[in-house]
Amino acid sequence: MYNGTGLQTARGSGSNGYVRSNKFIVKPKTNRTLTGGNDVAGRFRKPNVEHEHERKRQMEIKLVVLEEKLVDEGYTDVEIGEKLNEARRSLEASVQQH
């Protein structure tokens, strides 16, 4: 008997009593996760924050360019605000579809 496993005595068992581990059983590695962090589920990746930040950054750059264009065309501040809000909603909607 080794660490509480195996037979108390090898007598009548057809074995010599030596405890061996089975090397052919593949156990899932539960302590490793895909992200390398401490996920609750451990199987799902968290969204990549860097990509999300870059996407939002590109969207804001487009809005700033649009705002400059509207200012150059002579729109009022209220009209510019409305057009920017509309453009922001359409950009967010196009991202949600992907």
| Domain extent for 93 | 49-97
Q: How far apart are the first and last CA of the chain?
A: 60
Nearest to 33 by CA among 41, 42, 24, 23: 42
Give the tokens for residue 22: 């089975």
Give the model confidence (pLDDT) of 9-62 as tens digits: 666 676 776 777 778 887 777 665 555 555 455 566 676 777 888 888 999 999
Residue 19 within any structural domain of the chain: no
Residue 85 within any structural domain of the chain: yes
In the chain, how many domains are there? Answer: 1
pTM greater than 0.75 = no
Residue 40 within any structural domain of the chain: no
Residue 64 within any structural domain of the chain: yes
